[in-house]
Amino acid sequence: MTAELAVAVPAVLLVLAACLGGLRVGAERLRVVDAAAQGARLAAVGESPASPAAAIGARVVSVQRDGETVCVVVRREVALLGAPLPVQATGCALAGVVP
């Protein structure tokens, strides 16, 4: 029974760590999506889109303007079981006149 337990416990802990890491990556993905959306809204009114990304430790990869649409790409590296995993999101907004 001891040998089986010695093999099973590390395997269970590894699966638990992977699950918790996956939840963390999902939560960080939501933060990156929000930062991209806020950055796009700021860029649409002519302000710098970098501040929402910098607030979460991410960076703005690109800002693209196509007619009235402004799209901002935000990227962040998240560690999953010690390996860096890139999380990237794009947010777009319509450029308009500020009231």
Confidence of residue 36 (pLDDT cuts 50, 70, 90): very high
Rg value, the chain, Cα: 19
The answer to pTM > 0.95 is: no
Confidence of residue 98 (pLDDT cuts 50, 70, 90): low
Domain residue limits, the chain? 2-94
Cα 53 from Cα 35, distance rounded (Å): 5
- pLDDT at residue 35 above 90? yes
Mean pLDDT of the chain: 90
Question: Residue 81 has what DSSP assignment?
Answer: T
